[in-house]
Chain A
């Protein structure tokens, strides 16, 4: 039984809210606590003269105990007699040790004997069954009460929503109560004076508030109300989650929703972006990959695997109730700058820039909680675009109390782990005996251009990029928070400067000096992202029932990705030059500027009305607006005789310097109103009905402009002339309503029925899409038959089933036209040109997801085990199908059709425990494990799939993310020339299945310990990704023709060259984060006139154990599509060492 229970029922486990029900004769009432006044009520309703024989079955009680507590004796009486025995947990006499031999005809007699001489009395409650043991406090007369006071108040959560079920205790006097459904509590008979009020609820941090109870407060109304705000606690044991009806106890919801406390997450890992947070949260079934380890690289998030073959698989993002642009992995994040066309022998230049994910425009430090809504309830709550799951972000709001200033400073050191040694190089001398200035490969060896004299390994993966260096990040943040019972506010501003680990190569610096080309700081630090965040939140509470939150988050981000390229015939030449202390003259010298400037703002106004009575109403209106300009410019210089000058490209175009702009704007507007309530129906809460209904509108405008190159003056961003470009725009409006209701039966079986209907501009005209769902949870541990034990203190089973859908684009239905300029009659005019034909039979690809699992609370709330299995069938998956030319489409004639089927099965397990939890020490351990299995069950006739020679095949029975590769059937140096010719390696003609790029399973192992009154804490997290296959393209093939290099090494490079890449298996364990936090002693902090000073040392990605030969298994160089690809160009995730200081004033 819970140690916080104010009243214990032996014989049956009964909790307070059902206590009355128990007294009314119901056999199923189960809750833990009693209000103090309920005891009074009990006395009032008890009939002391009532014969115990009326209580029903009477069993004699024979007990012999020795040196045990009276409490245990009562327990034994209840157990033997089968009679309910109720007493106040605050009665000190119950802890007396007694030795007794009882042989009484019934339970009441036995109890009376047992309590003889203690001053306690026993009686029978109105139900005629329950035996009530009353203490002195109850027996005290009203005179004693007049010397005591009353405390009452209300408990809210971080969203200003009332919290029911929270235990409220006046510390030291053993006076307790439980908040009702509207968050109210009241405790009477408190001895006057100063006390601490402690509020506890599973899933929240305990709050301690000082109160002063006046003895003169004879009147209940003389004491001011106390308002307590609860903030969520650890990443596990969270109990309240966001649903259509606002917040709902997690245990009542039929599907698994994970809620993450952002502050605790940030305390254990140096998350510098929301993407980082999601990665470090390690929520089962949520997988994050990044395009690069460089600052600002976008991430790809998948919840429960890949959602679709052809449609978007990104989860939806909701911030403070409004939608934000969640397009993280579409083509808009890529922008490229090209150098002029190369002459033969030169490598083409292309600098690919990745724009940051929109989600990273939010300052992670302003986030209060992250909720991950997977499974069937997502769509019914949020409608279309939620089929791939929803991440609900709630930012920090104002907090009642004096103004509190917080300053944090972070300084990070980023270190790039060295790439594996994996290639080889022939060194040689030329016929005159000088060091050969180019790679001495077999061809030159046999031409006697050079004489090879050594073969060594070189760092192929690392070398061809700019040199690795150390990166850094600094972050300054100031926030202020405070308020009163009418207004609360929270403001925060932060500046963050993140310099990537890339460095311009030494050889290029030498060359630049020799060629008198100035190298600016931007090029010395090619990757850099600066962010300025400004967040504000003001909450108005005109009445206790009404809360109005106005929030706004802005971000100005400047991402630079520069690169210097020098072109010569061999990259190896650079190295040889370096070794020789020379700077070989390049054919050209290029300075590639690339980057993205982003301004974004999301703002929401949330209105919540929570009546003391049974109903609530809410409204949300908000907008997320982002403007992003991607740019790329190449300052091209042609070099000859030690001079590099701006010159024409070798294609003859007089455009030495080219600019490629891409301007993107995204606007997402949200409007949402909802209302609901909680209806207790009959039989005194036998059935509770919690209906809510709402309607919402979302408008999403996405516009992407990508201009081709144009001429600009040397060194300038602006220029005359304008190239053709590509612009796409989408204006999608969706409107829908939802109706959900939760049925609570007997307070332990819950049904959640949901129904949503959407219509909108991309939904087939005049037909709304509906998403029904049903979920249920059964708190089996509250059943009478469930054996009471200290091991499993709570157990609930849950199941959910529901529909979701991903809609096609409007052009997929109607057909698509594109604006182009043309000439008619000698005049330039704008026209619209047919590009695609539509499909008026196309329907949303609709998934049916079934989810089941259980939650087990072990050892009280010390441990939680969550297990979930889910099966999602996408029965009419959309795929491109070939259509003939007579359809009107000229190139790659296709249109989307609902002809495929995809299945996703997943298993998720989460186990977290507080091994030690006391005022002095906290030790927590946990693990999260998940498996996702994605299979294409059906492709459909004429579905456009790649050929059997492709590495990117869609095949029935295999995953969408399956990786295929041509096998090496044999090799050998047949002609004995010392290296492998193409003809000496035999590759299979068709590609064979190698595995899936999505790991078969992922796991994380977390631990933390807090000592010294929890002022010093350590934590760590290991992440484990099971087997997967990445399609790795080695950056280059230098060394493959080196005479004498081991054949088994040559074959990899040779096969890679012939087949255009290599599928590599990977399995990894990574020390993803570790952290030490220390709260400086209060005395020291106070001397510095601060409330709290926290120092922390954190690290992330500290170690990686893998046999993978690519750069980093977590890095997906190609964020488009569902495959993982390591093209060898992008950097691994750096190791990060972070030092943080937080000062609260």
Chain B
């Protein structure tokens, strides 16, 4: 160690500067909880600092991944439509995003996911270093969220998204594009790492098993997926509580119910090529899983401006319902309609009206194709506005042979009649302006595939 380093690191600092100087060392620590303050690197590199980074990663995950991506997917798949006169960067129109306009929502979406992923990885790096075995639960949870970020990329974006390494301490390795299957493989790896650390926590184990099962299911490995979810009870749910934002607080969700928000969304009602009636013409027949209400004109609307998601509504990250739907898909794959219908109706019975009645059982539609329709219809309602729809549409095409043009929205937009849908099946974040992957990552070659 050089002499200056020795000086710097030793108590000579105190000897020279005196007690005043040493006592000042506590100033930054004691006042750190001030909004907007940059975190002292010395704080980051500590047990406490690592925990802050972890909490930041969790909050960022809720905000970025479950917020914006949930909204993007909803609009792209016609779960909802934007009623304002502006078309937001092609989302409603399923067209390629502008290659010259930065800041569109597809780019924001992938950027947010990268940001969450990097912070999660840095949290894992710092917690591993500073917490030791006591931090296993934190690490397991972090791996779970990391798996979810990969799942979000795999479900929604074109194949070939770049994944870089950006460690705390200034190491930046720009990564090449990864195929969708590789992305899912990473989700599985992350979940496995979490599972290894979550042995003492049943809820965390279920969460990680569920995420792994979701990744396996997405890649057609139905039995492996169902095996993982078998011990997850029906009432299991891991979710985030929606909290309306307060002044000065970061919101959980991108489109939180702030007064100043001017976007106005509505619910698509079976138009376009989606084929699903999100609401029936008669509001009384609507599925309780679609949180609509009647607008002033009597037309059902999705009241995101003021009360969507409803106060205290929880956004599920994984639940017993999804476990049953994964198992249903497995039984569908082995052509076991009895077990398939048991799982489907088990899911329906989880949803209760205010009166206490549950959703009524449904009957076996009688054919494989009809069961596929039923499964994905139940998934559509169960996962309404949770950012899952695009992944399901892709699986319908990839593993069930559906013509994408029959299940992606086509024609004129329900919400904006002047918009004609394009032909994109996935989010394409290619962009050549400032801040784009294309321009500034030499290892990135663009989307490998634009197919579902």
Residues in chain A within 8 A of chain B (CB atoms): 621, 623, 667, 669-673, 695-697, 699, 701, 703, 705-706, 708, 721-731, 733-737, 757-761, 766-768, 810-811, 813-826, 828-835, 837-842, 882-893, 895, 942, 944
Residues in chain B within 8 A of chain A (CB atoms): 1-8, 12-13, 15-18, 20-21, 24-25, 27-28, 31-42, 44, 49, 52-53, 55-56, 58-60, 62-64, 107-108, 110-112, 114-115, 117-119, 122, 162-164, 166, 168-172, 174-175, 240-241, 243, 245-252, 312, 434-437, 439-441, 444
Q: Measured between C-beta atoms, what is the minimum distance from A396 to chain B in Å?
A: 25
Q: Do residues A886 and B175 form an inter-chain contact, with CB atoms below 8 A?
A: yes
Q: Which of A731, A768, A891, A942 contacts B42 (CB 8 A)?
A: A731
Q: Which of B2, B169, B434, B436 contacts A815 (CB 8 A)?
A: B169
| Bound Cα distance A813, B172 (Å) | 11
Residue of A735, A760, A816, A883 ringed by the most chain B CB atoms within 10 A:
A735
Q: Do residues A833 and B17 form an inter-chain contact, with CB atoms below 8 A?
A: no
Q: Which of B34, B56, B170 contacts A725 (CB 8 A)?
A: B34
Residue of A701, A708, A759, A760 ringed by the most chain B CB atoms within 10 A:
A759
Q: Which of A723, A757, A759, A840 contacts B170 (CB 8 A)?
A: A840
Q: Do residues B243 and A884 form an inter-chain contact, with CB atoms below 8 A?
A: no
Q: Which of B39, B117, B166, B252 contacts A832 (CB 8 A)?
A: B39
Q: Measured between C-beta atoms, what is the minimum distance from B391 to chain A in Å?
A: 21
Residue of B3, B63, B175, B444 ringed by the most chain A CB atoms within 10 A:
B3
* Closest partner residue, chain A, to B431 (CB atom): A885
Q: Do residues A703 and B440 form an inter-chain contact, with CB atoms below 8 A?
A: no
Q: Which of A703, A706, A838 contacts B168 (CB 8 A)?
A: A838
Q: Given that A814-B168, A815-B169 are known contacts, is A728 also in contact with B37, CB under 8 Å in the complex?
A: yes
| Bound Cα distance A810, B40 (Å) | 8
Residues of A within 8 A of B436 (CB): 884-885
Q: Measured between C-beta atoms, what is the minimum distance from B439 to chain A in Å?
A: 7
| Bound Cα distance A1046, B372 (Å) | 78
* Closest partner residue, chain B, to A620 (CB atom): B16
Q: Do residues B118 and A837 form an inter-chain contact, with CB atoms below 8 A?
A: yes
Q: Do residues B38 and A823 form an inter-chain contact, with CB atoms below 8 A?
A: no
Q: Measured between C-beta atoms, what is the minimum distance from B104 to chain A in Å?
A: 13
Q: Do residues B16 and A834 form an inter-chain contact, with CB atoms below 8 A?
A: no
Q: Do residues B170 and A834 form an inter-chain contact, with CB atoms below 8 A?
A: no
Residues of A within 8 A of B28 (CB): 701, 703, 729, 731
Q: Do residues B24 and A759 form an inter-chain contact, with CB atoms below 8 A?
A: no
Q: Measured between C-beta atoms, what is the minimum distance from A626 to chain B in Å?
A: 14
Q: Do residues B35 and A669 form an inter-chain contact, with CB atoms below 8 A?
A: no
Q: Do residues A832 and B2 form an inter-chain contact, with CB atoms below 8 A?
A: no
Residues of A within 8 A of B34 (CB): 705, 725, 727, 819
Q: Do residues B112 and A890 form an inter-chain contact, with CB atoms below 8 A?
A: yes
Q: Measured between C-beta atoms, what is the minimum distance from A450 to chain B in Å?
A: 37
Q: A703-B31, A816-B39, A824-B58 are in contact. List 13 more A-B contacts (CB 8 A).
A: A703-B28, A728-B38, A731-B27, A735-B7, A735-B13, A815-B170, A819-B36, A823-B251, A828-B249, A884-B435, A884-B439, A884-B444, A886-B162
Q: Which of B31, B172, B241 contacts A837 (CB 8 A)?
A: B172
Residues of B within 8 A of A813 (CB): 169-170
* Closest partner residue, chain B, to A706 (CB atom): B36
Q: Do residues A819 and B169 form an inter-chain contact, with CB atoms below 8 A?
A: no
Q: Measured between C-beta atoms, what is the minimum distance from B45 to chain A in Å?
A: 8
Residues of A within 8 A of B1 (CB): 766
Q: Which of B3, B44, B175, B247 contacts A817 (CB 8 A)?
A: B44
Q: Which of B20, B52, B245, B247 contacts A831 (CB 8 A)?
A: B52
Q: Do residues B17 and A697 form an inter-chain contact, with CB atoms below 8 A?
A: yes
Residues of B within 8 A of A673 (CB): 16
Q: Do residues B35 and A817 form an inter-chain contact, with CB atoms below 8 A?
A: no
- Determine chain A's interface SS by DSSP, over half rule: strand
Residues of A within 8 A of B4 (CB): 735-737, 757-760, 768
Q: Do residues B21 and A669 form an inter-chain contact, with CB atoms below 8 A?
A: yes
Residues of A within 8 A of B252 (CB): 822-823
Q: Which of B17, B53, B441 contacts A886 (CB 8 A)?
A: B441
Residue of A669, A721, A890, A893 ringed by the most chain B CB atoms within 10 A:
A890
Residue of B40, B53, B56, B112 ringed by the most chain A CB atoms within 10 A:
B56
A to B CB contacts below 8 Å, 27 in the list: A621-B17, A667-B24, A669-B24, A697-B12, A697-B13, A703-B31, A724-B248, A729-B38, A733-B8, A733-B13, A735-B8, A736-B4, A737-B7, A757-B2, A757-B3, A814-B168, A819-B35, A819-B39, A820-B36, A824-B59, A831-B60, A832-B56, A834-B60, A839-B172, A885-B435, A886-B162, A893-B435
Q: Do residues A823 and B37 form an inter-chain contact, with CB atoms below 8 A?
A: no
Q: Do residues A729 and B162 form an inter-chain contact, with CB atoms below 8 A?
A: no
Q: Given that A727-B34, A824-B58 are known contacts, is A888 also in contact with B114, CB under 8 Å in the complex?
A: yes
* Closest partner residue, chain B, to A836 (CB atom): B38
Q: Which of A726, A734, A890, A944 contacts B36 (CB 8 A)?
A: A726
The 3 A-B pairs with the shortest beta carbon distances in the complex, nearest first, are A888-B118, A671-B16, A840-B170
Q: Do residues B162 and A884 form an inter-chain contact, with CB atoms below 8 A?
A: yes
Q: Do residues A818 and B36 form an inter-chain contact, with CB atoms below 8 A?
A: yes
Residues of A within 8 A of B115 (CB): 834, 885, 888-890
* Closest partner residue, chain B, to A698 (CB atom): B17
Q: Measured between C-beta atoms, what is the minimum distance from B305 to chain A in Å?
A: 15
Residues of A within 8 A of B162 (CB): 884, 886
| Bound Cα distance A834, B59 (Å) | 11
Residues of A within 8 A of B17 (CB): 621, 669-671, 697, 699
Residues of A within 8 A of B439 (CB): 882, 884, 942
Residues of B within 8 A of A667 (CB): 24
Q: Given that A723-B247, A819-B36 are known contacts, is A885 also in contact with B114, CB under 8 Å in the complex?
A: yes
Q: Which of B25, B36, B41, B56 contacts A811 (CB 8 A)?
A: B41
| Bound Cα distance A620, B7 (Å) | 16
* Closest partner residue, chain A, to B44 (CB atom): A817
Residues of B within 8 A of A895 (CB): 172
Q: Do residues A820 and B35 form an inter-chain contact, with CB atoms below 8 A?
A: yes
Residues of A within 8 A of B12 (CB): 697, 735
Q: Which of A672, A832, A840, A884 contacts B441 (CB 8 A)?
A: A884
Q: Do residues B8 and A734 form an inter-chain contact, with CB atoms below 8 A?
A: yes
Q: Measured between C-beta atoms, what is the minimum distance from B256 to chain A in Å?
A: 10
Q: Do residues B60 and A725 form an inter-chain contact, with CB atoms below 8 A?
A: no
| Bound Cα distance A893, B431 (Å) | 14
| Bound Cα distance A697, B22 (Å) | 12
Q: Do residues A817 and B53 form an inter-chain contact, with CB atoms below 8 A?
A: yes
Residues of B within 8 A of A826 (CB): 241, 243, 312
Q: Do residues A837 and B166 form an inter-chain contact, with CB atoms below 8 A?
A: yes
| Bound Cα distance A729, B111 (Å) | 27
* Closest partner residue, chain B, to A883 (CB atom): B440
* Closest partner residue, chain A, to B32 (CB atom): A819
Q: Which of A821, A825, A883, A884 contacts B249 (CB 8 A)?
A: A821
Residues of B within 8 A of A886 (CB): 114, 162-164, 166, 174-175, 437, 441, 444
Residue of B38, B111, B117, B440 ringed by the most chain A CB atoms within 10 A:
B38
Q: Do residues A823 and B250 form an inter-chain contact, with CB atoms below 8 A?
A: yes
* Closest partner residue, chain B, to A823 (CB atom): B243
